[in-house]
Amino acid sequence: MASLYTKTKLYLEANSKTWDDTKVLLENNGSGDFIAFWNYDGLEKPTNSQITSYETAGNTAETLQDVLAKREREYKELKEQLDLLYHDMVADKGDKTGEWFKHIKAVKDANPKG
């Protein structure tokens, strides 16, 4: 289930607005998350049904964020990637046969976007 934050953020973006902590506040009173404060000029606070309509898109967005975060953890540090690229160039392997490409491809293949 997508978080209220994600669904609210998608609602804002669909209405040409961006998340602003001074204009929206989410809270949880023990029985669930809710929008406690809303102050966007020209955009009404979304109804429960409007927020619910972003469930599928929210799940997709959160899954993508999870995949990207996992990729980020699995990629070698930038200095190591640059070293791989340097050695690939020295070995004339600036193509799909180089170690850098193999590393990046392995991470992407293990963590597809969808």
Is the predicted pLDDT of residue 42 greater than 90, yes or no? yes
The structure tokens listed for 19 are: 């998340």
The answer on pLDDT for 114 being more than 80 is: no
Give the chain's domains with CATH numbers: 1-69 (3.30.56), 75-114 (no CATH)
- Residue type for 31, please? S
Phi-psi region of 89 (alpha: psi -120 to 50; beta: other; left: phi over 0): alpha
pLDDT in tens, 60-93: 999 999 999 999 999 999 999 999 999 999 999 9
- Please report, in angstroms and rounded to a whole number, the separation of the first and last CA atoms in the chain: 17
